[in-house]
Amino acid sequence: MFFPVKSALSRERRNELLQFEKNAGARFRDPEMLNLAFTHRSCANEDPSHNQNNEKLEFLGDSVLGMVVATHLYKLLSDKVEGDLARIKSYVVSEEALAIIAKRLEVDRFLLIGKGEELSGGREKKALLADAMEAIIGAFYLDSGYEAAEKFVLSLVEPEIEKVLQNRHHKDYKTILQEYLQKYHRCYPKYLLVKKTGPDHDRTFWISCEVCGAEFGPAEGKNKKEAEQSAAKLAYDDIVAKGGLEAARLMQVENP
């Protein structure tokens, strides 16, 4: 076993992990490894019996996921240019896509989180679900090797790849905005943190998007990435609706 975990799993917990394995179509040789993948740092901080958390597995799983998806796209879409492959990959490995996969596998049911995180709705947080999904991938790679992990990852991400190819996926507005600005205005957006509110375990971030002197937002999110996406959508929708950046900037001057 790669990570020594002191606590023995109860029969009830083993049965829960078996249910997850059934949902995921993957069997772990070491259930302790899978259990560690579900252990959020908030649980490890509050419960001495959980002396480790899933952050290292998340780090590893992120790399495994990226390698598998990049290789698959390279083989599957040999007619696409590098930029197209990068855009598809960026969505498939994104927080949004991983959270969708995690909900499909009911990862939220099996998470081990602290009381504060539980009370703040941690089981529904996209970032927490996505991180757990990466940790599960990392755990399966250590448990069963790369070949098995590759098959597992592909079984998870192929539906998300298909969504992108059919243009049915969640739009990455930061990318859309940047590409639009580069094409039509030759400038880049900047994201500015306006404020953050709430306690450490339940922060709300407010971020504005600055485009060539025009400011859009601020927009809110439960983390910086989410707030930036919301600000980018505000900017993109406003610029396009008003017929371009100059028109949007003029409207801001006339209606401060």
- Residue-range domain boundaries for the chain: 11-165, 173-254
Report pLDDT for 252. 55
pLDDT digits (tens, 9 = 90+) for 124-153: 998 899 999 999 999 999 999 999 999 999
Yes or no: say if 34 and 21 are a contact pair by the CB < 8 Å rule: yes
Q: Which two tokens stand for residue 109?
A: 């049911």
Q: How confident is the model at residue 3 (pLDDT cuts 50, 70, 90)?
A: very low
- Rounded distance, CA 166 to CA 120, Å? 35
* DSSP helix/strand/coil, 152: helix
Of 84, 46, 60, 78, which is closest to residue 153 (Cα–Cα)?
Answer: 60
> Parallel, antiparallel, or unpaired for β 214-221 and 189-197?
unpaired
Q: How far is CA 191 from the centre of its chain?
A: 19
CA angle 169, 174, 176 (to 5 degrees): 65
Annotation says 117 is catalytic: no
The answer to whether the pTM exceeds 0.85 is no
Q: How confident is the model at residue 244 (pLDDT cuts 50, 70, 90)?
A: low
pLDDT digits (tens, 9 = 90+) for 153-163: 999 999 999 98
Range 11-165 has CATH code 3.40.50.300: no
- Rounded distance, CA 187 to CA 193, Å? 20
Yes or no: say if 109 and 90 are a contact pair by the CB < 8 Å rule: no
Q: How far is CA 252 from the centre of its chain?
A: 33
- From the candidates 134, 143, 172, 228, which is the catalytic residue? 134
pLDDT digits (tens, 9 = 90+) for 78-112: 998 887 888 788 788 888 889 999 999 999 999 99
CA angle 18, 23, 28 (to 5 degrees): 45
Backbone angles phi, psi at 219, to 5 degrees: -120, 155
8-25 b/e (C-beta count within 10 Å ≥ 16 → b): eeeeebeebbeebeeebe
CA angle 222, 126, 221 (to 5 degrees): 20
Residue type, 122: G
Yes or no: say if 234 and 216 are a contact pair by the CB < 8 Å rule: yes
Q: Mean pLDDT, to the nearest integer, of 188-194?
A: 95
Q: Mean pLDDT, to the nearest integer, of 199-222?
A: 91
CATH code that applies to domain 173-254: 3.30.160.20
Strand partners, 190: 210
Residue type, 58: E
Helix (H) or strand (E) holding 141: helix 126-144
Annotation says 134 is catalytic: yes
Q: What end-to-end distance do the CA atoms of the chain give, in Å?
A: 61
- Rounded distance, CA 28 to CA 22, Å? 11
Strand ranges, E, within 62-203: 189-197
Residue type, 50: H
- From the candidates 62, 143, 160, 172, which is the catalytic residue? 62
